[in-house]
Amino acid sequence: MAQLTIQDATLKPIADKVLAGERLSFDDGLALFRSPDLLTVGWLANYVREKRHGGVTYYNVNRHINPTNVCVAHCKLCAFGRDPNAPGAYTFALEEVYQRAAQGVREGATEFHIVGGLHPDLSFDHFLEMIRGLKQRHPHVHLKAFTMVEVHYFARIAKLTIEETLRKMKEAGVDSCPGGGAEIFHPRVRKIICDHKVSGRMWLSIAKKAHRIGLRTNATMLYGHVETFEERVDHLVLLREAQDETHGFVAFIPLAFHPDNTALAHIPKPSGYDDLRCIAVSRLMLDNFDHIKAYWVMLTPSIAQIALRFGANDMDGTVVEEKIYHDAGAKTSEFTPRGELERLIRAAGRMPVERDTLYNPIDRSKLPPIIPATPPGLVSLGV
């Protein structure tokens, strides 16, 4: 193993713990965030990443579908949600959802990632019908649908318990849930960035309930706005404790705040330095999470590629149509083809492995050939 030269002496006892495979404490997490010695923090995260996954880096072929951006929550952090009659508000008819899904399948998608706004007039039954319709049309595609925030809202409007809501989702065909809406669990932060959203405690409780009925979920952390390092570490430790209880989280995705067009537009975007630090500290603190994702849409493909040497072992998917980050000023593409994801991974000295949502490797030779995606707004040239 290569020698580690630690520049920041406060990291020495933490490095000893990491190399001995010991769990890091809250104070260790804080010291990792505070340290200017990003290379040591990254080296340690990469050590853990390679111990778990060697050089393997996962990606998937997926298709994001956001059925509506109409939302009653009005979170300050968000540029996606709209009032029903506001400019740019949309709600897809079920047929439009199915068209996007069918296009996704032609493009080789093995997963639909489905999240949307909290619509004041659409019933829970409407969304269950959408899921049933998708499952019936594409039984082999994994439906990763609805965040804990949506589950909470569905339970409220349908007057069901959280367990009943989750069971109905599962019966209709939901296979797992995405990790959005976690933001930062600490109530001080939630009061500022997403006052009307479920509390952090409730988000965790719903995720654990999902796990207990056999629905795996992802987890996220939105960083780079008003939160302190202590509040980031608190978030990570709460997730780690929940994972100790249920082992139901699949992957963790740190999400960089994008301020444009939000009510927090005065806050500067997190730097590349902070992006890499968040990936690395997450890898080190979340010792019971198998996978740390570098979501290229929000990090940019270049930073996501470097993150593969700072603790991340997954680049997320092809995506194709992305609204949440692009409404908030993301300059990245909405689509990265499978071949380009593989090229980026190889260029970082890693080995690309296409996976399904639950990280089983996919053998493309057993699937129908991919018809290349037409990114939104572009007309296919048929070549």
Cβ 28 to ligand V47 shortest distance, Å: 26
Nearer CB in complex with ligand V47: 35/220? 220
Nearer CB in complex with ligand V47: 262/305? 262
Nearer CB in complex with ligand V47: 31/119? 119
| Both structure tokens of 109 | 């998608």
Nearer CB in complex with ligand V47: 14/324? 324
Helices 148-158 and 162-172, axial angle in degrees (round to 10): 110
| Both structure tokens of 334 | 């909405």
Cβ 221 to ligand V47 shortest distance, Å: 9
Nearer CB in complex with ligand V47: 280/324? 324
Cβ 139 to ligand V47 shortest distance, Å: 21
| Selection from 338, 289, 295 nearest residue 314 by Cα | 295
Cβ 218 to ligand V47 shortest distance, Å: 3
Cβ 350 to ligand V47 shortest distance, Å: 19
Contact positions toward ligand V47, by CB under 6 A? 77-79, 147, 178-181, 183, 218, 220, 222, 253, 255, 257-258, 262, 295, 316, 324, 328
Q: Is 88 exposed, middle or buried (0-12, 13-18, 19+ CB in 10 A)?
A: exposed
| Selection from 243, 224, 232 nearest residue 30 by Cα | 232
Cβ 278 to ligand V47 shortest distance, Å: 12
Q: How does DSSP classify residue 110?
A: S
Contact 82, 327 (CB under 8 A): no
Nearer CB in complex with ligand V47: 24/210? 210
Q: Where are the alpha helices (DSSP H) in 184-223?
A: 187-193, 200-212
| Both structure tokens of 325 | 């980050």
Instruction: Return d(Cα 291, Cα 288) in angstroms, integer.
Output: 9
| Both structure tokens of 324 | 């949440």
Cβ 138 to ligand V47 shortest distance, Å: 19
| Residues 149-163 as b or e (16 or more Cβ within 10 Å = b) | bbbbbbbeebeeebe
Nearer CB in complex with ligand V47: 53/142? 142
